[in-house]
Structure 1
């Protein structure tokens, strides 16, 4: 069976299930992370169920849902249109590209840093990185024009896991 729910709805359900939470537990977590008053937990749980089936988009609660799962808003709810990676990374994570690189060098890597890095890498057009100066260089070969994707795994040196 094909799941035609929005990606964010699928992710909400899988993140909740991975933690062994019921929708009521997720509602309690939202209330615990919220800096403002939310409706009672049963009302939030009903909304949560509607969000998970993709019936309604959680417009006013996207940042809170992302915070509950320890990630950034745009990583959880990506924007469909052409993105401006620098602005998006700064808006979502509060980190610009320079700070991301500084954290990577200092090994201050957490899930939010990795999400910000993924957004940055996804927003880069490899053709924009190519410079005609490379074409004139005798040391640069055509095979060097490939651009690796960001893949983080347990085998990545310096990362826990």
Structure 2
């Protein structure tokens, strides 16, 4: 009896989930039928970063959040919002990081200048390492002092203690 109830509950849940997916697909297909709206969606999706992937636009990402954001944008386009209103909404909700090309300002300066600063620091560290290494290599080429030569001679003359 419990197994039947569990099976029935599982089947009911699957049917409800499938119905929601079909309704969502039908709504998206209706919106996608409008080529102007779809072009706007593609253009906006290429300007917004996937917050899960972080190195892809939401147009290129298949992450669940990217799909939800595209659906949200479709809804806003359907509601008659302009591109600027949609971008402003996304920035207000997720911050400048959602923009694939964030504006240059004090808060995002690290995003723009960080790679250059890291490159310069890396080159500086490499240059310093190579100078120290060259200095150490030069130290090993100096001739032995008389005391060092005498100790070396004594070590070479000692019989092996085996």
For the aligned pair, the TM-score class normalised by the smaller chain equals under 0.3
Superposition TM-score, scaled by structure 2 size: 0.26
Which has the bigger relative contact order, CA under 8 A and spacing at least 6?
Answer: 1
Q: So what's the TM-score if we normalise by structure 1?
A: 0.27
Larger radius of gyration: 2
